[in-house]
């Protein structure tokens, strides 16, 4: 039971931010205490716990073994695509990580060296990440299956000594061979890593490239276990490149000290879990959610974490998530709203939920994109537990706004991620940097300094960090999201700032229109984009995906949607353009490519991000737009 109120904890942080985080840092095992909690000497580049020394791997593995939790499950790999479940205790995981750290050391990896990890959702991906942390090396995980040119760009930016990869990834009905992609990336990259360690999976056994490649099992067999290497709190733990970047990739840097403090605090205070609880983030280790809440956060807290190699539907059915929760007794789950929309589309009545005992589940968290109220209400109705939307970014590593279960569960307002988390001083600013009144939509910004765990800068590029995030409103970090605060302090994240459209001088949120459309009983999911109009500047257009089994005529449904928006948003929205599509283009992490679709509709050139789930979807969208009279791009 929570013993403090949200208001009291937030006020305590506001009164003394440095003192607050210094107290929370006592939960971490330090080799040397820090000299200064917050170092402001290079503002606006701030650093937390300067002078402190620690090892992140020690804090996620060794300490739990030493404190008597060695036989507790640490990692459960559940893989419906291979029909296997593998469990590592804390002792087994520590030993495997120490051995692979020794294998890396044997190939010359030392503190500060970079290692790129290009892996599917297998335990070895986690082992490789933690082995780097054990040595004080810097890992950069690249989503398995990324195109060779994108992998090459990351190799040239991070300049790794070594790459860890696998022979293949496995998806529904197909094998994705990684080695040809890695070989091509080696050809394209100007920087040449000297070694590639390859996990040869039985589904795709590959030949090794002489003098460069090393088999994972052979590397482990020849290795001696490595101990933890202390690093400074401000040393980088990892580099994570943001999705959808063009040109030189934008490498988010995460430090060791602030990251450990913030994530451990978040596990207890945001998610309400303690040591021994089973926690599941249904994401990928290639994304920030996988870094924060498959690997580091749960293990810092002494939880059992789930590594799931499957999909929300199709492995084998829309009950896949419920099976995992039931079998492994998951207490708190975290996934993206797009996963729930996929389940809802295939099983709108929630029949598959009733096949499983979900009495273990206390709460379901959603993040990664805005969650429409209809999806949240549907999930809450079928799961019968709090379904909590929360808002954060790759750059922050943990939630900016959330309903903090470990402090005080506040009333849920569907469509809002609740209130700013202690550590974040959130403001809504207008175009001139002026503070906007409650209820008025503007740019959501965080007053500096950012709390521990957030990016201190970009990899070898302080100037780009300032230009991308800090220069627009001096003294603030610009999130790139638009929204407002209501009279109760609840945050409403309505869209990306470039998704706010201007209809005849009226600034309108595409997110608000999506809320109205998504509430229609026949709609599985939707996207609203602003398209160019010579009279009004822009007009909203809706792209609609219908639920499986809908038999009604599309024209009738579209007419109802137009009327709904007119009634609930107003005639000022001028919402008349609407089309039904089979699916929406998304990144692999579930973000809808609204900007790309807007450029397609306006006849502008566009560059699909490397993270797009299926490039063929864009051809389908282009055909739909052409039928509506929009120009084809030359």
pLDDT computed for residue 1 by the predictor: 45
- Residue 336 sits at the vertex; the CA angle it makes with 334 and 338, to the nearest 5 degrees, is 145
Domain boundaries 504-627, corresponding CATH code: 3.30.300.30
Q: How many CB atoms lie within 10 A of CB 458?
A: 24
Give residue-wise pLDDT tens across range 546-561: 998 898 999 999 999 9
pLDDT computed for residue 3 by the predictor: 67
State the pairing for strand pair 84-89/73-79: antiparallel
Q: Does 244 have pLDDT greater than 50?
A: no
Give residue-wise pLDDT tens across range 18-64: 999 999 999 999 999 999 999 999 999 999 999 999 999 999 999 99
Q: Does 323 have pLDDT greater than 90?
A: yes
For the segment 514-524, the average pLDDT, to the nearest whole number, is 91
628 — pLDDT class (breaks 50, 70, 90): confident
For the segment 97-123, the average pLDDT, to the nearest whole number, is 98
- Beta-bridged to residue 213, according to DSSP, are 196
Higher-scoring residue by pLDDT: 530, 141? 141
Q: Nearest 5°: phi and psi at 530?
A: -95, 125
Q: Where are the domains of the chain?
A: 504-627
Give residue-wise pLDDT tens across range 246-285: 456 789 999 999 999 999 999 999 999 999 999 999 999 9
The 3-state secondary structure of 134-160 reads: HHCCEEEECCCCCCHHHHHHHHHHHCC
Burial-class residue 224 by CB neighbours within 10 Å (0-12, 13-18, 19+): exposed
pLDDT computed for residue 532 by the predictor: 84
- For 251-281, the DSSP string reads EEEEESHHHHHHHHHHHHHTS---TT-EEEE
For the segment 328-340, the average pLDDT, to the nearest whole number, is 94
Least confidently predicted of 399-403, 429-433, 507-511: 507-511
pLDDT computed for residue 497 by the predictor: 67
499 — pLDDT class (breaks 50, 70, 90): low
Model pTM score:
0.86
């Amino acid at each position: 039971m929570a013993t403090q109120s949200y208001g009291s904890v937030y006020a305590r942080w506001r009164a003394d931010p440095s003192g607050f985080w210094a107290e929370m840092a006592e939960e971490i095992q330090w080799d040397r205490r820090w000299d200064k909690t917050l170092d402001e000497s290079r503002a606006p580049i701030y650093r937390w716990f300067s002078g402190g020394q620690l090892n992140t791997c020690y804090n996620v593995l060794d300490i739990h073994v030493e404190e008597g939790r060695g036989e507790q499950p640490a990692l459960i790999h559940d893989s419906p695509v291979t029909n296997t479940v593998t469990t590592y205790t804390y002792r087994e995981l520590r030993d495997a990580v120490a051995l692979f750290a020794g294998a890396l050391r044997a190939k010359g990896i030392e503190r500060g060296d970079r290692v790129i990890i290009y892996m599917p959702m297998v335990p070895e991906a986690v082992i490789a990440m933690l082995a780097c942390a054990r040595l004080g090396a810097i890992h950069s995980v690249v989503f398995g299956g990324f195109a060779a040119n994108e992998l090459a760009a990351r190799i040239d930016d991070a300049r790794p000594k070594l790459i860890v990869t696998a022979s293949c990834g496995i998806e529904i009905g197909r094998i994705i061979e990684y080695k040809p992609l890695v070989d091509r990336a080696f050809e394209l990259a100007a920087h040449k890593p000297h070694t590639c360690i390859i996990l040869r999976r039985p589904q795709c056994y590959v030949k090794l490239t002489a003098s460069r490649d090393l088999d994972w099992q052979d590397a482990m067999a020849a290795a001696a276990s490595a101990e933890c290497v202390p690093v400074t709190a401000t040393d980088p733990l990892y580099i994570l490149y943001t999705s959808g970047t063009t040109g030189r990739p934008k490498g988010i840097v995460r430090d060791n000290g602030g990251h450990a403090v913030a994530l451990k605090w978040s596990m207890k205070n945001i998610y309400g879990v303690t040591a021994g609880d089973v926690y599941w983030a249904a994401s990928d280790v290639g994304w920030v959610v996988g870094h924060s809440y498959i690997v580091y956060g749960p293990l810092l807290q002494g939880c059992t974490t789930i590594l799931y190699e499957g999909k929300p539907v199709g492995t084998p059915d829309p009950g896949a998530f419920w099976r995992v929760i039931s079998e492994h007794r998951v207490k708190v789950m975290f996934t993206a709203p797009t996963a729930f929309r996929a389940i809802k589309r295939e099983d709108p009545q929630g029949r598959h939920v009733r096949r499983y005992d979900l009495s273990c589940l206390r709460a379901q968290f959603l993040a990664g994109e805005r969650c429409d109220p209809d999806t949240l209400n549907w999930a809450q109705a079928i799961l019968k537990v709090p379904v909590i939307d929360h808002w954060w970014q790759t750059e922050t590593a943990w939630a900016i706004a959330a309903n903090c279960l470990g402090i005080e569960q506040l009333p849920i307002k569907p469509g809002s991620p609740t209130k700013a988390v202690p550590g974040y001083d959130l403001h809504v600013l207008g175009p001139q940097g002026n503070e906007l009144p409650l209820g008025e939509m503007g740019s959501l910004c965080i007053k500096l300094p950012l709390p521990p765990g957030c990016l201190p800068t970009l990899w070898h590029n302080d100037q780009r960090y300032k230009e991308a995030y800090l220069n627009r409103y001096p003294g603030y970090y610009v999130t790139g999201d638009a929204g407002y605060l209501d009279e109760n302090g609840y945050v409403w994240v309505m869209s990306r700032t470039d998704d706010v459209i201007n209809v005849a001088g009226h600034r309108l949120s595409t997110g608000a229109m999506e809320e109205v459309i998504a509430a229609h009983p026949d709609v599985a999911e939707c996207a609203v984009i602003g398209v160019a109009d010579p009279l009004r500047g822009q007009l909203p257009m809706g792209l609609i995906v219908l639920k499986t089994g809908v038999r009604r005529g599309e024209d009738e449904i579209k007419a109802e949607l137009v009327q709904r928006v007119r009634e609930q948003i107003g005639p000022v929205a001028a919402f008349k353009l609407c089309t039904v599509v089979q699916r929406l283009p998304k990144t692999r992490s579930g973000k809808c490519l609204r900007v790309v679709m807007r450029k397609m509709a306006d006849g502008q050139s566009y560059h699909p991000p490397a993270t797009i789930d299926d490039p063929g979807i864009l051809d389908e969208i282009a055909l739909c737009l052409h039928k509506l009279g929009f120009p084809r791009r030359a």
